[in-house]
Structure 1
């Protein structure tokens, strides 16, 4: 806030009005103004205001190390290689989610097919540079944050159309079917915030890396804003049979699955703002919450595929933001923040925690690097 970041209540996608009272859910009641795009805009404005130089088209390619101490960084600035002498380096280069080879080697061959939701330039360069000077790998290198995103979303993120507009996160109110016409996850296992980052990989496992979120007229008005955007891919029909005929699915199995699901739905009060326990009985996988029969036309299908957001594997960093070597000793002058920090997420991810991690480790790394530089200057002056 002191650096000009504006926060606001997260009305749009994290709250419902119930009995005249607005309830925020999922542990995420606030957001930055205009989300991530707004956050970056405000940070760059502050950077300009206080006179920090930003070099564009300038790729860091190598860390300069002497006696396990970082003394500089080699930068490819245009067509010239420049060595910047420095007392310390903070790496905040993101993960390797945009690197097909690293995804395939570490997460699995099928991940070559994933859409990259963010920048195409997060190719693991910072991690590789750090490891070249002895940094220790850490965390779940076989894991990542991924989501169900529109099947026709761009293959890499586009700043004119941020990846957020293509996500499809109302699936707890849907049933999701694959090309074979079968369900494959418990759509209502938990609040969206606690399942969306692991269900992307489940979609990736399906034939053709595609699934279909199915809704009826009962829940269509409750869907998140992104379902109403012109970028959303949507199929609509007055009957389930007509809807199945519009999709490249096994139509017989599609209709059978929905019939079995409808028969398994148990009575109970439907409460979309909380886990209501209104589930199914006798089918696998179950639907544990928010189970309504799909019976009121018109009916809707939204095709989704897997979009990778960031990789979980990174560097081992201590509680001061120092990068550690293979003996778990700090590499002097080397710090890291953001998605490069390994060991934070395993298997899953709770919504909003990446921003929190970035804020915490950014503050730690920045403060520690400043303190480290100051101590070096004082040592030199004393001599």
Structure 2
């Protein structure tokens, strides 16, 4: 409608792929983050809104950040169908272990179900030395890995023994990595049954950082390791809106003809993101913004 400004952005359009903005709001490390959106997503929606007085809201120091293939393009690849672009994600870490450049584990891979941790663990990877990690699995869990591990362009190395595998982990201290994997294997409590469908309580015992669910001994070759880094989907900050999805100014007054929904809206997420909640937010605010924009247009 030419008589109103209606922002209805998808989840990636506020991903702040412009490095200067990522550094400004998130910190220096985020300059090297992979972006799931396109190179054209430059944060212009926020700039256009704030240029006419929109108030910002929410937590700009956080974002939806997943582990991504270390060798993916800097931005989402427009040469493949959009439904396949998510394949750069590597979010089956709960069935294996993740090692940083020092050959050490740095998160509890089994902390919770995938949907409750994947948007935080990308940040954890990016904060590690050289912004990288390796995810390691043995053959008995391959069928449990998401399809993104099985695409033609998925990056991985493979070996029949762990001693050989660790030498192929580029950028990782191999001796320390082997020590970490050996200690991990020795610490798995195999008396608890493995159940990939729920938090099964199958854990390690006695490690400085235990894995609290889905802990399996890495004992079934061949072994595979996937290199990952941190990726960004969208930031948690955005514009301030009321319950009618009208964008508010700094003095909390609605800006005439400006509405927002989806991830343009700030204050919905702060320190975490449960899988699928962005779709719920987009649907709720999208419906409200659509009705409000239509009412605005027909009342003029």
Tell me the residue number matched to 2:108: 186
Tell me the residue number matched to 2:235: 311
Q: For residues 38-117 of structure 1, what are the structure 2 equivalents within 5 Å?
A: 86-93=2-9, 94-117=13-36
Q: Does 1:154 align with 2:73?
A: yes
Q: Distance in 2 between matches of 1:320 and 1:329?
A: 12
| Cα offset, 1:287, TM superposition | 0.7
Instruction: Give the 3-state SS of the residue equivalent to 2:149 in structure 1.
Output: helix
Tell me the residue number matched to 1:168: 90
Contact 1:95 1:313 in 2 (8 A): no
Tell me the residue number matched to 1:289: 213
Q: Which has the higher contact order (CA 8 A, sep 6+)?
A: 2
- Residues 77-101 of structure 1 deviation map (CA, whole Å, 9 limit, x = unaligned): xxxxxxxx94321113431421211
| Cα offset, 1:156, TM superposition | 0.7
Tell me the residue number matched to 2:176: 253
Q: Distance in 1 between matches of 2:167 and 2:41?
A: 40
- Residues 2-41 of structure 1 deviation map (CA, whole Å, 9 limit, x = unaligned): xxxxxxxxxxxxxxxxxxxxxxxxxxxxxxxxxxxxxxxx
Q: Distance in 1 between matches of 2:94 and 2:218?
A: 13
Q: Distance in 1 between matches of 2:4 and 2:143?
A: 53
Runs of 5+ unmatched residues, structure 1: 1-84, 377-383
Instruction: Give the 3-state SS of the residue equivalent to 2:60 in structure 1.
Output: coil
Instruction: Give the 3-state SS of the residue equivalent to 1:335 in structure 2.
Output: strand
TM-score (normalizing by structure 1): 0.74
Find 2:45's aligned residue among 126, 144, 165.
Answer: 126
Tell me the residue number matched to 1:23: none
- Residues 163-211 of structure 1 deviation map (CA, whole Å, 9 limit, x = unaligned): 3011111110010001110000000000000100000011101111111
Tell me the residue number matched to 2:277: 353
- Residues 200-255 of structure 1 deviation map (CA, whole Å, 9 limit, x = unaligned): 01110111111100011221222111111111011110100010111222111101
Tell me the residue number matched to 1:34: none
Tell me the residue number matched to 2:267: 343
Q: Does 1:143 align with 2:143?
A: no
Tell me the residue number matched to 1:269: 193
Contact 1:92 1:126 in 2 (8 A): no
Q: Does 1:301 align with 2:225?
A: yes
Q: Distance in 2 between matches of 1:122 and 1:189?
A: 33
Q: Distance in 2 between matches of 1:118 and 1:134?
A: 26
The alignment of Structure 1 onto Structure 2 pairs a total of residues equal to: 292
Q: Distance in 2 between matches of 1:114 and 1:96?
A: 11
Q: Distance in 1 between matches of 2:293 and 2:222?
A: 58
- Residues 80-124 of structure 1 deviation map (CA, whole Å, 9 limit, x = unaligned): xxxxx9432111343142121111011111100001111222211
Runs of 5+ unmatched residues, structure 2: none
Q: Distance in 2 between matches of 1:98 and 1:293?
A: 39
Q: Distance in 1 between matches of 2:262 and 2:228?
A: 28
Q: Which one has a bigger Cα radius of gyration?
A: 1
TM-score (normalizing by structure 2): 0.94
